[in-house]
Amino acid sequence: MTEADRSGKPVLIVTLSVNRRQPKPEAITNWSWPGSEFRAFAGKRNSLQLSPVRVLLAITLAFALAGGAAAGQDPVPPCVGANPYPDFAPVDAPPAVQVISRNDLAAWKPAPCIGWEAKDDGVLVALAGSFHFNRTTDELLKRFGAISSLKNLQYWSVTDGGWQTLITSASALDSPDGGHSRGDFTLAEMKSGKELYFAQQDNRTSEEVVYRMKVSDLGADGFVVAVENVTPVRSFMLTLFDPGDLQSVHFVKRESPGVFRFYGLAFAGESLASSLALPEASYVNRALALYGHLSGTKVAPVEK
Task: For the chain, give the mean pLDDT.
Answer: 75
CATH architecture for segment(s) 11-295: 2-Layer Sandwich (3.30)
Instruction: Break the chain into its structural domains and give their ranges.
Output: 11-295
Provide the greatest CA pair distance for the chain: 55
Read off the DSSP letter of residue 121. Answer: S
> What three-state secondary structure class fits 219?
strand
> What three-state secondary structure class fits 129?
strand
The pLDDT tens digits of the residues spanning 206-248 come to 789 999 999 999 999 999 999 999 999 988 888 888 999 999 9
Which of the listed ranges 32-46, 59-73, 213-227 does the model predict with the highest average pLDDT? 213-227
Alpha helical stretches, state H, the chain: 102-107, 137-145, 187-190, 280-295
pLDDT of residue 274: 52
Q: For residue 98, what pLDDT band results from cuts at 50, 70 and 90?
A: confident
Q: What percent of the chain has pLDDT over 70?
A: 71
The pLDDT tens digits of the residues spanning 241-299 come to 899 999 999 999 999 999 999 999 988 887 655 555 555 566 677 778 888 878 887 88
CA distances from 189 to 37, 152, 214, 251 (A): 27, 24, 10, 18
